[in-house]
Amino acid sequence: MASRVPICVNDFRVFAKERLPKVWFEYQDGGADGEQTVEDNVEAFQRLRLRPRVLRDVSNRDLSTTILGTPINCPIAVAPTAYHQMSHPEGEIATAKAAAGTCMILSSHGSNTHLRDVTAAVSPDSLLWIQLYLYKDRNVTRLMVKMAEKSGYRALVLTLDSPITGKKLKDSPCVYPSLLYRLPNIEAEKSKNVVRNIGFDMSATWSVIDWLDSITTLPIVVKGILTAEDTREALKHNVAGIIVSNHGGRQLDGVYATIDALPEVVEAARGSNVEIYVDGGVRKGTDVLKALALGARAVFIGRPILWGLAYDVSLIVSMSLCMGIHMRWKGASGVKQVLDILKEEFSLAMALTGCRTISDITSDLVISPSKL
């Protein structure tokens, strides 16, 4: 078993693979079909090259920015992912605590923690958004929205790329521990006997965004757009933001990497007030810089957050056994380490490319392989 202190994000993946049950790790780490898109999301960043500028005063760097008007300490935020208790008993609460200073999007369907419990566990100024799916029974979405509004969530993130669940070859038919079936946000609505069908709505069209806008005062961010065509459609429906996403390669295999799709979406949204974000494949600080140079307002991190959760609980438990003493779990620590490493690497990348502020990160800092 590895024992060294992690020094980069990929080190956390190694620890998670060693310490989690195989079926749990493969559920988190896997993607659709042959996982071509999972690999492309990471590799596409590596194909881009940087064009640094020199002899600029970078002695003080400001990494702060805003998303939907709210300040965050750096443009690195937490994407919605399911089953955080698979990695750590404190689950989504630990993640939310670690995300202090930036934004966390809570998964509504796949969260092991009720959305009210997450907001209750963090400071009132924490920036939390809630992710939503489109269900056949609109009551599910409607009630989720009302709970989110009352609980202090500041935006709705509507996932568009999941009318049906993608095929994942690594998913095992084994029985998961009962905690993985605890989905309190969904169960709370079932108990009210007002929900008829919890399945995803495969018949939904763009008009669903108008319906969602009619029942809430919260800004709407749409997640799962990869094309200029869909970007232009989204702009017709009063969205505040777009997350360029292919669901981490977990839905349709063979689509292109999100960083490759980003410029197309940014160009299609040019001239609007819609903010563009990106997720998928971010593993290094230079990845963050490349995404911002290509037009992203911020990046959202998925799998590395779960690896961070797994690292902390496993390390502390193993230390407890070796030392023969009881140690309290500190779930937020591993996630915070992941975010801190990315933030430090991003700051370094800014310095070495001649950038003092986020506004200094411009498109001329990046060149694609086709132009080399």
Domain annotation covers residue 75? yes
User: What's the domain count of the chain?
Assistant: 1
Domain annotation covers residue 362? no
Whether 125 contacts 150, CB under 8 Å: no
Domain annotation covers residue 361? no
Give the model's pLDDT for residue 165. 82
Domain annotation covers residue 322? yes
Of 273, 264, 272, the residue nearest 244 (C-alpha): 264
Rounded CA-CA distance 136/113 in Å is 23
One-letter amino acid identity for 193? N
Domain annotation covers residue 330? yes
Domain annotation covers residue 365? no
CATH code: domain of residue 109: 3.20.20.70
Coil, strand or helix: which one is 276?
strand
CA angle 274, 105, 339 (to 5 degrees): 105
Question: Which residue in 84, 88, 109, 247 is the catalytic one?
Answer: 247
Active site residue 247: yes
Residue 72, token pair as written in the block: 């965050």
Q: In a structure prediction context, what are the per-residue pLDDT tens digits for the chain, which is 372 residues long?
A: 445 789 999 999 999 999 888 888 998 999 999 999 999 999 999 999 999 999 999 999 999 999 999 999 999 999 999 999 989 989 999 999 999 999 999 999 889 999 999 999 999 999 999 999 988 888 889 999 999 999 999 999 999 998 888 887 776 555 455 445 567 887 655 555 444 556 788 999 999 999 999 999 999 999 999 999 999 999 999 999 999 999 999 999 999 999 999 999 999 999 999 999 999 999 999 999 999 999 999 999 999 999 999 986 544 444 444 443 333 446 689 999 999 999 999 999 999 999 999 999 999 999 987 665
What string of H, E and C letters represents the secondary structure of 124-186? CCCEEEEEECCECCHHHHHHHHHHHHHHCCCCEEEECCCCCCCCCCCCCCCCCCHHHHCCHHH
Give the model's pLDDT for residue 4. 74
Residues spanned by the domain of 31: 9-356
β-bridge pairing 275-279 and 298-301: parallel
Domain annotation covers residue 364? no
Domain annotation covers residue 227? yes
